Amino acid sequence: MDTFEYNPNPGRVVFGSGTLEKLPDEAARMNLSAPLVLATPRQLACTELVKGLLKGNVAGVFSEAAMHTPIHVTEKALDYAKANGADSIISIGGGSTIGLGKAISFRVGIPHICIPTTYAGSEMTPILGETIDGVKRTQSDPKILPSTVIYDVDLTMTLPSAMSATSGINAIAHAGQLSRRLPTPTVEALYAYNTNPIIDLMAVEGIRALASVLPQIVKDPSSRSARSLALYGAWLCGTCLGSVGMSIHHKLCHTLGGSFNLPHAETHTAVLPHAISYNATVVPTAMKKLAEALPESNGNAIHGLNVLLEKLQVKRDLKYYGLKEGDIDKAAEAVAGSSYWNPREIEKEAIRELIRRVWAGEPAK
Ligand code: NAD
């Protein structure tokens, strides 16, 4: 077996159905007495559940979390947290709410309990992406990691089927990201130290779990067993993202999402097959593993992803979400202009063509 390094991220996970009930115990374990509860305006009802369970013992509720963690929202929430003497954060919601929770807890140095309600996986990563003047900046620090994560399948039952589909593909993108770091005859000498069989197991298992149940959730969003497996897959895939670096797929999505204000999970969904296809020729081992985890792939990961996206009936053209044809060059410039690890060299013309195909909604080849 190759030499590798494995750095598990610390953090406590409580998983199941009805697990929100365990929140008071979790807060008591951590000696929290005045948590600030975070949500988006749409999930205000969830904050009432939290307040009820904690018998009103909260510093307050801030329900203005927004996509891509805009810094002005964080500053407003920070002022509110300080004014109300918050000693901790409880974020209940998707990646937007969890991102705000991370931004506050990291700045102030207070503990953070996450209660995820989508499959985005942010709760498992030491990564914080924030938008400042329309540009998304990402930083990674172990202190960004939440202390405790409560996964309650019941809270995901209301996630609409279209969002379940794109959020699930967003999660697969995290694990697919890892798969592209697996050693290949081409990059093994340079990247072997990054490989890690434990995280690899999680990636394959996470992709397999999500890919097997997402079509079922789209057909029947009330299937608790399918939802449970999807949340389990999301946890594993989020762990993958939290344990390895990012490459072309996340760079594309951050640039498109942050600079052109495109929706996060939908952008990941449209970009993923193209990003994988861009790297495919230089990572044959990873492509084989990905194909094995995807049902109906016939041994071809891109085909498997195309079939999955077809079944999920998701939109695949970014022009639908507002990306302009004139933005293609700007996006290509930004993606090609910054430095980050990727198994294949970043070629500006090829990146431009990739973005054009995603803009037009042409399937990946
Ligand atoms: P989101 O958090 O923006 O949620 C989208 C909408 O769905 C919101 O209005 C939310 O309130 C609502 N919603 C969430 N769960 C629901 C449920 N169960 N039922 C009904 N409505 C529900 O979407 P997201 O895709 O989870 O998160 C996207 C954000 O997370 C982006 O800003 C992205 O950058 C960030 N993210 C960060 C990381 C990381 O590691 N730092 C990882 C993944 C995503």
pLDDT in tens, 110-152: 999 999 999 999 999 999 999 888 777 889 899 999 999 999 9
Banded model confidence at residue 195, pLDDT cuts 50, 70, 90? low
Ligand 1 pocket: which residues have CB below 6 Å? Answer: 40, 42-43, 67-69, 93-97, 99, 117-118, 120-122, 125, 127-129, 155-156, 158-159, 167, 170, 241, 264-265
- Among protein residues, the one with the nearest Cα to ligand 1's atom 17 is 159
What is the pLDDT, as a whole number, of residue 179?
42
CA distances from 348 to 92, 130, 133, 272, 330 (A): 40, 26, 25, 18, 11
- Token couple for 198: 């434990």
Pick from 91, 112, 117 the residue to mutate for probing ligand 1's pocket: most ligand atoms within 8 Å of its CB.
Answer: 117
pLDDT in tens, 315-363: 999 999 999 999 999 999 999 987 777 888 999 999 999 999 999 999 9
Banded model confidence at residue 243, pLDDT cuts 50, 70, 90? confident
What is the pLDDT, as a whole number, of residue 245?
66
pLDDT in tens, 28-70: 999 999 999 999 999 999 999 999 999 999 999 999 999 889 9
Task: Please answer whether residues 330 and 273 qualify as being in contact, where contact means their C-beta atoms are separated by less than 8 angstroms.
Answer: no
- Token couple for 154: 């019941």
pLDDT in tens, 147-178: 999 999 999 999 999 999 999 999 998 775 54
Size of the chain in residues: 365
Q: Which tops the pLDDT comparison, 287 or 89?
A: 89
Ligand 1 atom at shortest distance from the alpha carbon of 241 = 40
Q: How far is the CA of 99 from the centre of ligand 1 (A)?
A: 9
Task: Please answer whether residues 155 and 20 qualify as being in contact, where contact means their C-beta atoms are separated by less than 8 angstroms.
Answer: yes
What is the pLDDT, as a whole number, of residue 180?
41
CA distances from 232 to 15, 237, 271, 347 (A): 8, 9, 23, 36
* Placement of tokens 């920070």 in the chain: 78
Q: Which residues are CB-contacts of 85 (< 8 A; sequence separation ≥ 6)?
A: 34, 59
Q: Is 236 helix (H, G, I), strand (E, B) or coil?
A: helix
Q: How far is the CA of 40 from the centre of ligand 1 (A)?
A: 9
Mean pLDDT throughout 81-98? 98
Q: Which residues are CB-contacts of 145 (< 8 A; sequence separation ≥ 6)?
A: 9, 10, 11, 125, 126, 242
What is the pLDDT, as a whole number, of residue 240?
83
Q: How far is the CA of 25 from the centre of ligand 1 (A)?
A: 26
- What's the ipTM? 0.99
CA distances from 120 to 94, 164, 244, 299, 327 (A): 7, 10, 16, 27, 26
* Minimum mean pLDDT range among 100-109, 215-224, 242-251, 293-302: 242-251
Provide, for the chain, the percentages of residues in helix, strand and coil under a 3-state DSSP scheme, each rounded to the nearest 5. 55, 10, 30
Task: Please answer whether residues 161 and 218 qualify as being in contact, where contact means their C-beta atoms are separated by less than 8 angstroms.
Answer: yes
In the chain, where does DSSP find H-type helix? 23-29, 44-53, 71-83, 95-108, 153-156, 161-179, 188-191, 197-219, 224-243, 248-260, 264-279, 284-293, 301-312, 327-337, 348-360
Residue 187 has pLDDT above 70, yes or no: no
* Minimum mean pLDDT range among 101-115, 152-166, 170-184, 251-265: 170-184
What is the pLDDT, as a whole number, of residue 168?
96
Task: Please answer whether residues 214 and 230 qualify as being in contact, where contact means their C-beta atoms are separated by less than 8 angstroms.
Answer: yes
For residue 84, which of 15, 133, 38 has the smallest C-alpha distance?
38
Task: Please answer whether residues 46 and 155 qualify as being in contact, where contact means their C-beta atoms are separated by less than 8 angstroms.
Answer: yes
Task: Please answer whether residues 157 and 217 qualify as being in contact, where contact means their C-beta atoms are separated by less than 8 angstroms.
Answer: no
**C-alpha span between 98 and 58 (Å, rounded):** 17
DSSP type of residue 208: H
Segment (H or E) for 26: helix 23-29
- Phi/psi for 79 (5° steps) reads -60, -40
Average pLDDT, the chain: 90
What is the pLDDT, as a whole number, of residue 288?
87
Residue 95 has pLDDT above 90, yes or no: yes
- Among protein residues, the one with the nearest Cα to ligand 1's atom 2 is 94
